[in-house]
Amino acid sequence: MVRKILLSLCLVFWGAAAWALEQPEKILTLEDSIKWAMTNNQELLAASERRYVAEQKVEEANSYFFPKVNLSGAYTRLNVSTPTTLPPSLGGSSLAVGVSNHYAARISVNQYLFTGGYLSNQLKIANKDLDITNRSFETSRRRVCLEVTRKFYDVFYQLQVLEFNQESLAQVKTFIETAKRKARTKDYEITLFEIERSRLEMQLANEEEKLDLMYTAFNKAVGFELDAQVKLVGDFKTVLPGEDCPGCNTFIAQAIDRSPLLQGLSLEEKKINHQISQAFSERYPTIVLGADYERSGLNSELAGRNWTATLALHYPLFNGWLSWARVRQMRSELKSTNLLKVRASDELKMSIEESYRRYIRAGKNLEEMSKNKDQAQKVLESALGYYKDNQISCTELLAIQKKALEARMQALDNYYEYTLGEQELKIATGLDLVIK
C-alpha cells in the first residue's frame, strides 16, 4: 500500500515538472505587457472591486425613493378558550377567543413624501463616490502602465549592459591571446590582462544577477508568477523629436486637464458640499405616508378585513447641535481637500517638467552620443593593431577599451532616458492609446 502511494506521488510530481517544462516562453511587446497587467495586476483588480461596491451604493441610495412593502403573517392554534381584554383606548371590553385555528396576514406600505433633501443628497453623494472611484481606477491604471513601462525598459537596459560586459570580456580574452603570440611580450602584460579578465567575469556575474531581479520585478508588475519565463521584444526610441513637439507648458496644461487624480479631488469637493447640504437637511421635518391592510381569521369581533392609513410628521427640535458639528467637520474637510488638490497639482507640474527636460535633453544628445559610441569602437579596433605592432602598451590598450565601454554606456543611458521620458509624458497627458 505504501509503495502504491509513493508511486502515485512520484507520478504526480513528475507530471507537474513535465508540465512546467512544456510551458512555452511568453513573447511580449510593451503593448502586450500593459494589456496583461490590465488583466492580472492585483492593484487594478482591487480597484475594480471597489468600483463595483460604489455602483451598488448608488443602487442602495436609489432604493430609498421607492415605497417599502412588507408582508407578514401568523398562525395560532388554541386548545382552550382564551378571553382577551381590549385596552381602555379601544373601549375596554372583553373579547372571547374560542378554540380554533387562528390566522392573520398583513401587508403594509410606507413611502417617504418629504425628507428636506436628505435622500436626494444621499443619492448625489453616492454618485460622486462612484465618479471618484472611477477616477481612482484610472489613476491606478496609469500608475500600473507607467510601472510596467519602466520595468520593461529596465530589462532592455540591463540586457544591453550584459551584452556590453560579454563583449568586453571577449575582447580581453582576445588581448590575452594576442599578447601570448606577440614577440617580446612581458609577463606583467599578460598578468594585467588576466586581472582585467577576472574583474570582468565577476562583473558579468553581477550583471546577470541584476537581470534576473529585473525580470522578477517585471513579472510582479505585470501580474505573472515571479519565476515565469518571458521574452521581451522591442527597442529604445532613437527618433529625434520633431519641430512640432509641444512645449513644456503645453504638456503641463494637458496633464492637469486630463489628470484623473485632480479630477477625483474636484469631485471630492463636490461630494463634501453635498454632505454639508445633507447635514442641514436633518433640521427639516420628515413626512411619511403609511398604509396597512390586514386579513384575520380570529374567533372574535376583530375577525375580517381591516385597513389603516397614516400620515406621519417627524420634526427634530433639538439634537444636541449634531448637525452643526457635522457641518463644521465637512467644511474643514473641504479646506483640506482643496489644499491636497493644490499640492497634487504642483507635484504633477514638477513631474511633467522633470520628464520633459529629460526627454528634450536626451533627444538633443541622441545623435552626438551615437556618433561618440561608433568612433570609440573604431579607435578600439585600431588600438589592437597598434598593440600588435608594439606602438602602444597594454595599459593604454585597456584604457582605450574602458573609454569605448564608457561611450557605449553613455549612449545607452541617453537612449533609456529619452525613451522613458517620452513614455512618461504620454501617460501623464493621457495620450497613450494602450491604456484607453
Tally the residues of the chain: 436
**Quick check: helix, strand or coil at residue 85?**
strand
Distance (Å, whole) CA 126 – CA 277: 14
Domain assignment present for 306:
yes
C-alpha cell at 117: 433633501
Mean pLDDT of 238-264: 85
CA distance 117 to 114: 8
Same domain? For 185 and 276 the reply is: yes
Burial track 60-80 (b if 16+ CB lie within 10 A, e otherwise): ebeeeeeeeeeeeeeeeeeee
Find the distance separating the first CA and the last CA of the chain, reported in whole Å. Answer: 59
Based on the fold, state whether residues 177 and 241 are members of the same structural domain: yes
Residue 170 included in any domain: yes
Cell numbers for 111, please give them: 413611502
Q: Residues 291, 178: one domain?
A: no
Residues 6+ apart with CB under 8 A from 408: 164, 373, 376, 377
Q: Which of 294, 318, 342 is the last residue of a domain?
A: 318
CB-based burial of residue 256 (10 Å sphere; 0-12 exposed, 13-18 middle, 19+ buried)? middle
- Quote the Cα angle for 12-15-21, to 5°: 145
Whether residues 417 and 330 fall in one domain: yes
Apex 88 CA angle, 87 and 93, nearest 5: 75
The torsion region of residue 85 among left (phi > 0), alpha (psi -120 to 50) and beta comes to: beta
Does 11 map to a domain? no
Assess if residue 2 is contained within a domain. Answer: no
* 205-214 CB contacts, 8 Å cutoff, 24+ apart: 207/158, 207/161, 207/162, 207/165, 208/162, 210/158, 210/161, 211/155, 211/158, 211/159, 211/162, 214/151, 214/154, 214/155, 214/158
- Euclidean distance between CA atoms 279 and 63, whole angstroms: 20
Q: 220 and 345: one domain?
A: yes
Does 168 lie in the same domain as 80? no
Q: How far apart are CA 64 and CA 59, in angstroms?
A: 9
Neighbours of 208 (CB within 10 A): 13
pLDDT at 11: 47
Q: Are residues 278 and 246 in the same domain?
A: yes
Q: Is residue 134 part of a domain?
A: yes
Measured over the CA atoms of residue 129, residue 130, residue 131 and residue 137, the dihedral's sign is positive
pLDDT at 22 over 50: no
Lowest mean pLDDT among 76-85, 98-107, 186-195, 350-359: 76-85
Whether 7 maps to a domain, the answer reads: no
Q: What is the pTM of this model?
A: 0.77
Residues 79 and 45 in one domain: no
The residue-averaged pLDDT of 152-181 equals 92
Retrieve residue 229's grid coordinates.
519565463
Specify whether 60 is located in the same domain as 77. no
In which residue are the cell numbers 558579468 written?
A: 204
Q: Would you say 117 and 282 are in contact if contact means Cβ atoms under 8 Å apart? A: no
> Which of 270, 301, 318 delimits the end of a domain?
318
Task: Compute the average pLDDT of residues 383-388.
Answer: 87
- Considering the domain architecture, whether residues 127 and 219 belong to the same structural domain is answered as yes
Range 296-308 average pLDDT: 66
The neighbouring-strand residues paired with 94 are: 85
How far does Cα 219 stand from its chain's mean position? 15
**Is residue 94 included in any domain, yes or no?**
yes
Q: How many domains does the chain have?
A: 2
pLDDT in tens, 322-362: 888 889 999 999 999 999 999 999 999 999 999 999 888 88
Q: Which of 112, 107, 133, 108 is nearest to 63 (CA)?
A: 112
Q: 79: domain range?
A: 68-114+286-318
Same domain for 86 and 167, yes or no, is: no
Question: Residue 391: its pLDDT value, please?
Answer: 86
Output the domain CATH number for residue 314.
2.20.200
pLDDT in tens, 203-235: 999 999 999 999 999 999 998 998 899 999 988
Distance between CA atoms of 293 and 298, rounded to whole angstroms?
16
What is the pLDDT, as a whole number, of residue 104? 79
The helix/strand count (H/E) of the chain reads as 9, 8
Q: Which helix (DSSP H) or strand (DSSP E) does residue 288 occupy?
A: strand 286-296
Q: What is the CATH number of the domain that holds 332?
A: 1.20.1600.10
pLDDT of residue 6: 47
Please check the confidence at residue 65 and state whether its pLDDT lies above 50. yes
142, pLDDT greater than 80: yes
DSSP string, 100-167: SEEEEEEEEEEEEEE-TTHHHHHHHHHHHHHHHHHHHHHHHHHHHHHHHHHHHHHHHHHHHHHHHHHH
Distance CA 334, CA 320 (A): 23
Q: If you average pLDDT over every residue of the chain, what do you get? A: 84
Judgement on whether residues 90 and 205 belong to the same structural domain of the protein:
no
| 182 belongs to a structural domain | yes
Ranges 13-22, 161-170, 201-210, 232-241: which has the least confidence: 13-22
CA 240/CA 360 separation, integer angstroms: 9
